[in-house]
Structure formats: structure tokens, C-alpha cells
Amino acid sequence: MQLGRFPNENDIQYHKRLVYGKLVDKTLTDVDYSELAESVYDQQYSSDVARRMMYGSCKTLRLLDAQAESNITDASILSELDEKIIKLQIEQQKFFDQRTAYKQVIRIRTRQEELNEIIVRAIKGHTLSELHYEENNVICSDNDLLVSLNDIHYGANVENHWNTYNSDICWQMMSKYLDNIIAIGKQHKSENCIIWGNGDQISGNIHHSIAVMNKENVIEQITGVSELIAKFIAELSKHFMHVFYVSVAGNHSRLDTKDRSLKDERLDDLIDWHLKAKLQNFKNVSIGACRKIDSTMYLMGIRGKTYVGVHGDYDGSKEKINTLKTMSGADVYAVLLGHLHHNRIDTVQGVKTIMAGSFLGMDDYCVTKRIYGKPEQLVCVCDKNGILCSYDIPL
């Protein structure tokens, strides 16, 4: 074997490869010492002399390697390990982020497909009953009725010491409520009726205790409460010059658990769609007659006063009530909210808070939390100065 000269033959690493190849790695056993001598030492030596010289060089190179290894401090080793650990953690985090993003996409698509299925089944499986518009002779006046229609929780089944509630009882309550509203409207000669349905119109499936019972009935809940509200509005349209229905979704109509639900995905929104189709021929009925700021908040005007509507699950404290005025960007007179299942009118930092009760009353959740309340709604008489008076309506 002939070894040619390399441009870097004086490089110690090159010499080391030759010496180690002959004496340590045994990769150059077929090359004679005399041939290697010229490449390693740049001179010709006999085989015997070259052999002794290379053994000496090998010993020197090993001493240099040992010294280099001893110069590596613990700190440098730890630093290198830390760097490798950091790189590994970065790659792991990239993997976790990718997996989280993938799962999020799957969840979103699953929820959307479920929502699509609900809509399709609601359309195919439900026959709309006919409602007929009737002209009325209501004259103009100086006030309107502000009528709550909050927290119906249609589809819930409650049977305990304090309360019995189901869909049939809900219809009976609505009929009783309707009589009270008509009587109040006649007493005050009210011109228009503004209905605010601020969420939780269906029982939904947000808690495990009701999910088992309600999951398969969510379509019946939507169509059932839509029919209930449509007939309620249709009847009121006979007694007022104009009936307005405004709404915002509640927490009971979300499609998944709280931490996995999108803010804008609520089944309550399907009710408005149903009402628009059902009451499209009613000349004095307006569905969604408000300015939606987003899916959780709306603005509407009554006799020159601005009202902001929310469900209430995001707005429990006085500080948050005051923040709503800033968030709405309007000179708010009053905030309309539900969620807490009892009537209350208060004033916070110059802004009225008008809270309406529920149809549900005390369910098992209220019993375990020791929250007492009765089914009730709220009717307010409004003029140019705001709330003229209010009526608590027990159901």
C-alpha cells in the first residue's frame, strides 16, 4: 500500500490517525513502519527505527489525550448537559404544542358536527304549528312594558320537597305569566312590549347530573321551548302595538364543559332562528331588535334610555356591572341580567341592575348548595325617565 502526502500532513490529528491506525486501531497493519515514517516524520527510516519512534509517539499522544480529558471541568460537562436538556425540552414542548393544537382542531370539528346534526334533526324532526297574525287597535301611550323571560330551563325534571317542575308545568306557568302581563299592560295602557330572554331557555347538559337525562333530549328542548316562546309572543302581539324579542345565550346551552366550550357556541341561538321563521308573517313582531355587541352582550333602547343585556354568568360582581358600561361604549341606564334565579332591582354606581328570576325554582343543585328560591319573573313599566314601576310575578 502506498500512502501519498496530504496537504495537512503536519497536522497533529493527521499524524495521530496514522499512529493510532498502526498501533491502536490496527487499521493499517498491512502498511510497513518504514512507509509510515515518511508520512509521519517527513523522513525515511528503517522499519525497526520507525517502529520504535512510532511507539514513542503513540505514548506521547495518549498522554496528550489524557491531559485534555483532565482539563474538562465538571462545570463544562454540566453546561453541556444543561444545553442538551434544554434542547430536548424545547423539542418536547413543540411536540406537546402540536398535539394540543391537533386535539383543539378535533374538538372544534366535533362540536361543529354535533351542532350541525342538531340543526338538521331539529328541522327534519319537528313540524311547525301554524300561528296567525291578528290586527289590534292599541293606541299610542307614554310607556312600554319590559317583560323578562329568563332561565326557563325547558326540559328539566325536578321532583323534591320544595319544587316540582317539568315541561308540562312550564307551559302552565307561561299561561299564568301571560295573563299577568296582559293585565299589567291594560292597567298602564302600555303601548309596546319588550321581551328579554337572557339565557338558559333550555336545561342543556352542562352538569353530569342532568347530562344523562337531557343529552338525548336536547333537540326536543330546543324545539319545545321555541314553540312555547313563539306562542307566548304571538298572544302578546294581540295586546300591544309592537312586540320586540331580544336575547342573549346562557351557560346551560353550551355544547361542552365550561373549560372546553367556545364562547360563541350556544344552543340558545337556535331559538332565535326558530322564532324568526315561525313569526315572519307577524307584522308587529320583531325578533332580535337590538344591537349585538358580541354573543354575550347586546344594547337596546326604550323610550330614549339605553339598556345593556347579559346573561349574568360573567357579571356577578358590582365591579363587573360597572365595567359593562365601559365595554358597551354607551351611556347605559340599566343592565338586564338573569342567571341567579331571583328578582332584584338595584343601582350600582349610577347604573340600574334589573335581575329576573327563573321558571325552574329549586332544583337539586339549589338544594345541595342551600340556595332557596321560588319560580318568578319580572315586569317593568318604562317611560322616558326609565323604570316607572315593577311587578314581581310569582309563577
**Percent of the chain residues topping a pLDDT of 90:** 32
Q: Is the pLDDT of residue 257 over 60?
A: no
d(CA 135, CA 189): 17
Give the domain CATH number at 325. 3.60.21.10
Whether 54 and 133 share a structural domain = no
| 91 located within any domain | no
pLDDT of residue 112: 60
- Kindly state the greatest CA–CA separation across the chain: 130
Whether 168 and 262 share a structural domain = yes
Whether 175 and 259 share a structural domain = yes
Nearest one of 182, 189, 281 to 238, comparing CA atoms? 182
pLDDT of residue 68: 67
Lowest mean pLDDT among 128-132, 275-279, 341-345, 370-374: 128-132
Cβ within 8 Å of residue 395, ≥6 positions away: 173, 176, 177, 359, 374, 375, 376, 377
Q: Which residue has the higher pLDDT, 152 or 69?
A: 152
| 333 located within any domain | yes
* Beta pairing, strands 297-302 & 291-294: antiparallel
Starting at the edge strand found earlier in the chain, the sheet holding 242-247 runs 285-287, 242-247, 192-197, 144-148, 376-383, 386-394
Q: What is the mean pLDDT of residues 234-261?
A: 77
Whether 53 and 192 share a structural domain = no
**Percent of the chain residues topping a pLDDT of 70:** 76
SS3 call for 267: coil
SS3 call for 79: helix
Q: Is the pLDDT of residue 102 over 80?
A: no
Q: Which structural domain, as residue segments, surrounds residue 264?
A: 126-394
Give the burial string for 73-99 (b: 16+ CB within 10 Å, else e). Answer: eeeeeeeeeeeeeeeeeeeeeeeeeee
Domain's final residue, options 26, 41, 70? 70
d(CA 34, CA 43): 9
Give the burial string for 108-124 (b: 16+ CB within 10 Å, else e). Answer: eeebeeebeebeeebee
Q: Which residue has the higher pLDDT, 211 or 112?
A: 112
Q: Is the pLDDT of residue 279 over 80?
A: yes
pLDDT of residue 392: 97
Q: What is the mean pLDDT of residues 167-187?
A: 96
Task: Enumerate the H helices of 32-166 as residue ranges.
Answer: 33-41, 47-70, 74-124
d(CA 258, CA 208): 12
- The pLDDT-based confidence of 1 (bands split at 50, 70, 90) is very low
Highest mean pLDDT: which of 34-38, 130-134, 229-233, 335-339? 229-233
Q: What is the mean pLDDT of residues 56-83?
A: 71
d(CA 21, CA 325): 84
d(CA 178, CA 186): 12
Whether 50 and 178 share a structural domain = no
* Beta pairing, strands 351-355 & 332-337: parallel
pLDDT of residue 359: 94
| 238 located within any domain | yes
Q: Which residue has the higher pLDDT, 212 or 26?
A: 26
Nearest one of 312, 315, 360 to 340, comparing CA atoms? 312
Whether 171 and 268 share a structural domain = yes
SS3 call for 166: coil
Lowest mean pLDDT among 62-76, 171-185, 221-235: 62-76
SS3 string of 269-304?
Answer: HHHHHHHHHHCCCCCCEEECCCEEEECCEEEEEECC
Considering its fold, how many domains does the chain have in total?
2
Q: What is the mean pLDDT of residues 147-165?
A: 91
Q: What is the mean pLDDT of residues 232-239?
A: 96
Question: pTM for this one?
Answer: 0.66
Whether 327 and 262 share a structural domain = yes
Whether 59 and 132 share a structural domain = no
Q: Is the pLDDT of residue 217 over 50?
A: yes
Q: Which residue has the higher pLDDT, 320 or 373?
A: 373
* Residue 225, burial from CB neighbour count under 10 angstroms (0-12, 13-18, 19+): buried
Whether 56 and 141 share a structural domain = no
Mean pLDDT of the chain: 80
| 90 located within any domain | no
Q: Which residue has the higher pLDDT, 179 or 260?
A: 179
pLDDT of residue 239: 96
Q: Which residue has the higher pLDDT, 288 or 89?
A: 288
Whether 50 and 191 share a structural domain = no
Per-residue pLDDT tens for 3-58? 444 434 456 677 777 778 778 877 777 778 888 777 777 778 888 888 888 888 88
| 343 located within any domain | yes
Q: Is the pLDDT of residue 121 over 50?
A: yes
Domain's final residue, options 54, 70, 86? 70
| 170 located within any domain | yes
Whether residue 308 contacts residue 330, with contact meaning beta carbons closer than 8 Å, is answered with yes
Taken in order 364, 369, 370, 376, the sign of the CA dihedral is: negative
d(CA 248, CA 311): 6
Whether 152 and 246 share a structural domain = yes
d(CA 242, CA 279): 13
Q: Radius of gyration (Cα) for the chain, nearest Å?
A: 40
Whether 46 and 152 share a structural domain = no
| 311 located within any domain | yes
- The pLDDT-based confidence of 180 (bands split at 50, 70, 90) is very high
| 63 located within any domain | yes
